[in-house]
Amino acid sequence: MARLVSFNNVTLDGCFADLDGGIQWTVRSRSDPEFDAFVEENARMGGRLLFGRITYEMMASYWPTPIASREDPAVAERMNAMPKVVFSRTLTRVSWNNTTLERMDLEATIRRMKNDGGPDVAILGSGTIVSQLARAGLIDEFQIVVNPVVLGAGRPLFDGIKKPLPLELVKSRAFANGNVLLCYSPSAR
């Protein structure tokens, strides 16, 4: 069975995007070779990527470009090569290579993907999808990079969660740039 992992950057006050959907705060001016190696290592892992429309459009506007290939060659190569699924009710087509547009019921499609014997699936960004799949109990692991910045207002990662979602810390790692990786799995209920 394929695992479903959510990977997100959040601020110290729990936002995954600012009020306009921006994530510029994730770009650190302080260089950290260890964090850069971690990002590159994660990009090399196999699997499928899953996006909502907003995250897909942001990623598709950067990763297939010459700038991405020059600035982040290893990550760009993997992002462009990996199979991608975008869930959208408004897109009519997708242009990023290896991308499938999905309009079917999100939860049913994810259940099928998890049971199809294919590779693991990683949700990048896509807060609305993360919240919906977390409520449905379909996410196997939450990988959250806490960035040392407070926005004061923004889009909370777990917006729409109405009841407690008990989690167990399975891994943590601090980086010199101030980022902290926290990995959680759902607790037995």
pLDDT digits (tens, 9 = 90+) for 51-66: 999 999 999 999 999 9
CATH number for the segment(s) 4-186 = 3.40.430.10
Is it the case that residue 49 has pLDDT exceeding 80?
yes
Among the residue ranges 8-22, 34-48, 174-188, the one predicted with the least confidence is 34-48
Instruction: State how beta strands 180-186 and 141-147 pair.
Output: antiparallel
d(CA 81, CA 59): 13
Hey, CA dihedral for 181, 156, 75, 114, is it positive or negative?
A: positive
Q: Which of 29, 31, 30, 26 is nearest to 11 (CA)?
A: 26
Give the type of residue at 70. Answer: R
d(CA 153, CA 41): 31
d(CA 27, CA 31): 10
Task: Give mean pLDDT, residues 55-81.
Answer: 92
CB 8 within 8 A of CB 25: no
Helix/strand/coil percentages in the chain, nearest 5? 30, 30, 40
Q: Which of 44, 47, 14 is nearest to 127 (CA)?
A: 14
The pLDDT value recorded for residue 24 is 81
Instruction: State how beta strands 180-186 and 167-174 pair.
Output: antiparallel
Q: Which of 45 and 133 is assigned the larger pLDDT?
A: 133
Note the pTM of the prediction, 2 decimals. Answer: 0.89
CB 51 within 8 A of CB 87: yes
Which residues, including other chains, have CB under 8 Å from residue 30's CB and lie 6 or more apart? 176, 177, 178
Interaxial angle between packed helices 73-81 and 33-44, expressed in degrees from 0 to 180 and rounded to the nearest 10: 20
